[in-house]
Structure 1
Amino acid sequence: MRVVGRNWITALGGALTTISALLIIAFMGLGLLGLYDTPYIGIMAFLVLPGVFVLGLLLIPVGLYWERKRARRRGASANPTPRDPYPRIDFNRASVRRTAGIVSVLTLVNLLIISLTTYKGVTYMDSVEFCGTVCHSVMEPEYTAYLGSPHSRVKCVECHIGPGAPWFVRSKLSGVGQVFATAFNTYSRPIPTPVENLRPSRDTCEQCHWPEKFTGDRVKIITRFAEDEANTPLKTVLLMHIGGGTAGHGGIHSWHIAPNRQTIYIAADKQRQIIPWIQVREADGRVTEFVAQEASLTPEQLARAERRVMDCIDCHNRPTHIFKLPDQAMDEALAAGRIDRTLPYIKKLGVEALRAAADTSGNAAEEIARRVRAFYEEQYPDLFRSRRETIETAIRELQAIFRRNVFPSMKVTWGTYPDNIGHTRFPGCFRCHDEQHVSKDGRTISQSCDLCHTLLAVEEPNPPILQQLNIR
């Protein structure tokens, strides 16, 4: 201890180790008791302080070595027996046994702290809290969309990383660049999509959803509300030809991601909305290429372009981080009863208010409230007085819709992120199914509606098919 006491490096290492260990234990205790709800305590407890702890442990022997070298230069030795190159350890001496016991206990404590914090650090970096809230301004749009998505109970890492160590290491190395981009405020606004280094969906999505599982046809009902005074509900009924399985049945999944068929394509833009070239490889070895008649790339560019094997994400590109357009969000809110559809023209008014709020330079929430109140006060004064609370409820839901889908700080607004499912709001299916992709033998990729679904009813108030099926 005499050497340690006059060796500031070792003393500093001991102080860092002791203080960081106590803070780690304290933060873990607070977490177990649920006394904090900020992600930054987790960062300190499981990422920053363990690094300080290990640094302190390294400084202790470094300081002792430095002190020993300094003593030798002065003609003295820090070792009580300078003639021996190594210290003598005699367990017959009580002081040696006592020192060995203390060192052994401290070593076990250090190993326990390092092991525990390493495990907790890895699990914390895999948590939804870490992914969604640490870099708040960057991930706010994606995290907000995730919370209201069909996959909100699935951890981020299960889709973005998947099982196995190689992709875990790869993701953490990729995260280093993201940390620097966040620290120096150089990240893209909005976050570009699709994610170019995303793991293939066969390793992630198909842990739960696999092509052989989806077979047959399914009925899908789409409810849309007209922009008339009564907000008339209109229903479209589709018989979706899902396909799938291994029996060679037709259908969406059978054509696109069947195990015995591979579809490869080239995209002319980063968002993969323009697809000039498609290749289909059959199990029997047949290969067919389809080229867009008005291809945006030259043959030389096509030859050099990146080829991508089609998988789930090429159609289901927003399975979790779903951003709605105003009319789509309004239809869902009206169907769920979050907005009272007996309010005259509320569908039309809501869509207009949401679009106008995205363009305002002022407070979006106040703009939505102002427009809705002004409309009913001017056009329906009696209703405005008698149903004021119903109107205010609608305003609050409109403001919530806006907050879930528009993020000015990240330049995310209506339609920023295309959704490739369907073809009503974005090109989606029609990126390929446009009758413009032609093979050498003159075949085209069909745009026929019946290829993927059968129309049983189109925007009807009371479709007879639903009554026949006893679907309300």
Structure 2
Amino acid sequence: MRRRIRDWVSPVVYLSNNWISLTGVVLVTGAAVAWILLLPTMLTGDAATPYIGILTFLILPVIFFAGLGLIPLGIRLRSKREHTSGIYPTAFPPVDMRNQSFRRLLTFVALATFANIVIGSQLTYRAVHYMDSVTFCGQACHTVMQPEFAAYQNSPHARVACVDCHIGPGASWFVRSKLSGAGQLLAVTFNTYPRPIPTPIENLRPARETCEQCHWPDKFSADRIRIIANYAEDETNTETKTVLLMHIGGGPQVRGIHGVHLGPGVAIRYAHSDGKRLEIPWVEYSDGKGSTTQYASPDFKPGTEKTMRVRVMDCLDCHNRPTHVFELPETAVNHAISSGEISRTLPYAKKKSLELLKASYATHGDAQRRITEEFAAYYREQYPDIFEKQPIEVKRAASAVWNIYSRNVFPEMKVTWGTYPNHIGHTDFPGCFRCHDDNHSSASGKNLTQDCNACHNLLAMDEENPEILKTLGVR
């Protein structure tokens, strides 16, 4: 038996001593070593990024099996070449250390394995850390992810890593992310990804496992004053302010916005008739005290919820854009004027800014050129004195208008104003009014309230000098 094995192995060792087979050996050992180095990460799920799944389950297997294919290919080609040339040996050297070919092959495999371990360990370590980085998530697929990355950089969570929210801890979601990442890679490779990229609401991890690692509804939040500045489209950019007293709530009591929706024992289910969850005809509210009430829109037929997608409400049903926040032009310009990026001393600054922001542009490059040039040209032609005395303000304002456009509109990805609805509030999108429209009624005739004071008190509405702010000592 041993002799038969030796007789079979001897020609393999002899014929595999060629550059094609040796290349295959390098690929096989390299892929195997990299896979072994990634194994702890795969088993524990510590490296929470789908791209490690791409590396582990797509790239390394391809390299491994390509190497396996090269080894017999090289053997076959050498055998054929030597048979054709008439130099194919009738007997082969023994497979032991006296055989020079065997020693050479063994030495090569040992050196290749050692080199792969040294190089692979360093590359794998660096690759894992790089693929966990915000830079990789946001910029590796530049055109595809540019809208989301730009919005992320302008968000309250700009210092939170992408993987902390999109994947979170644990092995199960790590595996899901691998499969998702593989599909995304194929879509980018073959240019089959949708434009714009849809919000991933279907397969997003529950907020209790991500958001609530930092934010938790059991924490009580007191009422807060919110001041909203607005600027008119007149020559002086007249400022008015709206002042709201927001009832945040939460904590052990069922009060305020958070308490009523996410308080102790409270459970809300709803049925939505569209993929974006904008149409919500049925809501079920359990108050945590044993009482459950169902509310439905006027055209809803009882029992239809069984044929619709029903979801348990969590943070993301209202805070659906907690990080990738896309602004509307009016809101963005108001903020830019408030922060001083656009000077109020420039006549019709808001009106001109909105005019340029709402125009159509073919590309970002086209938009940048036209916005900056046309903004400056407006003041140079219509207000030459202002242009001469305040050139820095004009230039800074033009740059601010372009920056607003650049982080909200992406012609190449078909992302424009309002592409991604924000469910917080109800002024720009339906938001709260998806349920609180005063039309969702229970069997007893009770409606889901649309009373403004349930969520906030309106202390001032578009006033130039709100008295409440004077009382509070707020400028």
Q: TM-score, normalised by structure 2?
A: 0.81
For residue 386 of structure 1, report the CA deviation from its aligned partner.
2.9
For residue 252 of structure 1, report the CA deviation from its aligned partner.
0.7
Instruction: Specify whether residues 146 and 77 from structure 1 end up closer, same or farther in structure 2 by C-alpha distance, changes over 3 A only.
Output: farther
Instruction: Please name the residue that 1:254 is paired with.
Output: 259
2:170 aligned with 1:164: yes
Contact 1:241–1:453 under 8 Å retained in 2: yes
1:242 match: secondary structure: coil
Instruction: Please name the residue that 1:333 is paired with.
Output: 336
Instruction: Specify whether residues 260 and 112 from structure 1 end up closer, same or farther in structure 2 by C-alpha distance, changes over 3 A only.
Output: farther
Q: After superposition, where does 1:396-435 map in structure 2 within 5 Å? A: 396-435=399-438
For residue 401 of structure 1, report the CA deviation from its aligned partner.
1.0
State the distance in 2 between where 1:46 and 1:287 align: 48
2:250 aligned with 1:244: yes
Q: After superposition, where does 1:178-189 map in structure 2 within 5 Å? A: 178-189=184-195
Instruction: Please name the residue that 1:220 is paired with.
Output: 226
Instruction: Please name the residue that 2:315 is paired with.
Output: 312
2:209 aligned with 1:203: yes
Contact 1:67–1:78 under 8 Å retained in 2: no
1:437 match: secondary structure: coil
State the distance in 1 between where 2:79 and 2:466 align: 91
Instruction: Please name the residue that 2:355 is paired with.
Output: 352
Partner letter of residue 3 of structure 1? Y
Contact 1:46–1:118 under 8 Å retained in 2: no
Instruction: Please name the residue that 1:83 is paired with.
Output: none
Contact 2:16–2:74 under 8 Å retained in 1: no
**15, 22, 26: which one aligns with 1:11:** 22
Query: CA offsets, 1:98-146, max 9 Å, x none?
Result: 9989866764554454444444433333221221111111111001111
Instruction: Specify whether residues 361 and 110 from structure 1 end up closer, same or farther in structure 2 by C-alpha distance, changes over 3 A only.
Output: closer
State the distance in 2 between where 1:12 and 1:88 align: 23
2:368 aligned with 1:365: yes
Instruction: Please name the residue that 1:24 is paired with.
Output: none
Which is worse superposed, 407-416 or 359-368?
359-368
2:398 aligned with 1:395: yes
**262, 269, 279: which one aligns with 1:264:** 269
State the distance in 2 between where 1:317 and 1:60 align: 51
For residue 377 of structure 1, report the CA deviation from its aligned partner.
4.0
Contact 2:19–2:74 under 8 Å retained in 1: no
State the distance in 1 between where 2:382 and 2:191 align: 47
For residue 352 of structure 1, report the CA deviation from its aligned partner.
1.8
2:148 aligned with 1:142: yes
2:358 match: secondary structure: helix
1:438 match: secondary structure: coil
1:212 match: secondary structure: coil
State the distance in 1 between where 2:296 and 2:362 align: 39
Contact 1:315–1:420 under 8 Å retained in 2: yes
Instruction: Please name the residue that 1:124 is paired with.
Output: 130
For residue 258 of structure 1, report the CA deviation from its aligned partner.
2.2
Instruction: Please name the residue that 1:293 is paired with.
Output: 298
Instruction: Specify whether residues 179 and 376 from structure 1 end up closer, same or farther in structure 2 by C-alpha distance, changes over 3 A only.
Output: same
**279, 291, 298: which one aligns with 2:284:** 279
**435, 441, 454: which one aligns with 2:444:** 441
Contact 1:12–1:56 under 8 Å retained in 2: no
Instruction: Please name the residue that 1:30 is paired with.
Output: none
For residue 230 of structure 1, report the CA deviation from its aligned partner.
1.6
Query: CA offsets, 1:39-83, max 9 Å, x none?
Result: xxx99999999678756875687679979999xx98956561xxx
Contact 1:161–1:167 under 8 Å retained in 2: yes
Contact 2:254–2:260 under 8 Å retained in 1: no
Instruction: Please name the residue that 1:233 is paired with.
Output: 239
For residue 203 of structure 1, report the CA deviation from its aligned partner.
0.6
State the distance in 1 between where 2:194 and 2:433 align: 29
2:243 match: secondary structure: strand
2:218 match: secondary structure: helix
State the distance in 2 between where 1:139 and 1:286 align: 45
Instruction: Specify whether residues 4 and 134 from structure 1 end up closer, same or farther in structure 2 by C-alpha distance, changes over 3 A only.
Output: farther
For residue 403 of structure 1, report the CA deviation from its aligned partner.
0.9
Which is worse superposed, 434-443 or 205-214?
205-214
Contact 1:275–1:432 under 8 Å retained in 2: yes
For residue 164 of structure 1, report the CA deviation from its aligned partner.
0.7
State the distance in 1 between where 2:260 and 2:114 align: 59
Query: CA offsets, 1:283-334, max 9 Å, x none?
Result: 2332211001144xx5564321110111111111111111111111101111
Which is worse superposed, 405-414 or 286-295?
286-295
For residue 380 of structure 1, report the CA deviation from its aligned partner.
2.4
Contact 1:193–1:270 under 8 Å retained in 2: no
Contact 1:15–1:56 under 8 Å retained in 2: no
Q: Which runs of 5+ in 2 are unaligned?
A: 1-11, 33-51
2:355 match: secondary structure: helix
**RMSD of the alignment, in Å?**
3.9
State the distance in 2 between where 1:181 and 1:66 align: 37
For residue 417 of structure 1, report the CA deviation from its aligned partner.
0.8
Which is worse superposed, 179-188 or 5-14?
5-14
Q: After superposition, where does 1:102-113 map in structure 2 within 5 Å? A: 107=113, 109-113=115-119
State the distance in 2 between where 1:165 and 1:342 align: 56
2:359 match: secondary structure: helix
Query: CA offsets, 1:152-178, max 9 Å, x none?
Result: 111111111110111111111112111
Query: CA offsets, 1:378-435, max 9 Å, x none?
Result: 4423223333332222112111111111100111011111111111111111111111
Instruction: Specify whether residues 360 and 190 from structure 1 end up closer, same or farther in structure 2 by C-alpha distance, changes over 3 A only.
Output: closer
For residue 440 of structure 1, report the CA deviation from its aligned partner.
0.5
Instruction: Please name the residue that 2:8 is paired with.
Output: none
- How many correspondences in the alignment? 440
Q: Which runs of 5+ in 1 are unaligned?
A: 22-41, 81-86
For residue 464 of structure 1, report the CA deviation from its aligned partner.
2.5
1:273 match: secondary structure: coil
1:307 match: secondary structure: strand
State the distance in 1 between where 2:59 and 2:91 align: 35
Q: TM-score, normalised by structure 1?
A: 0.81
State the distance in 1 between where 2:18 and 2:362 align: 64
Partner letter of residue 11 of structure 1? L
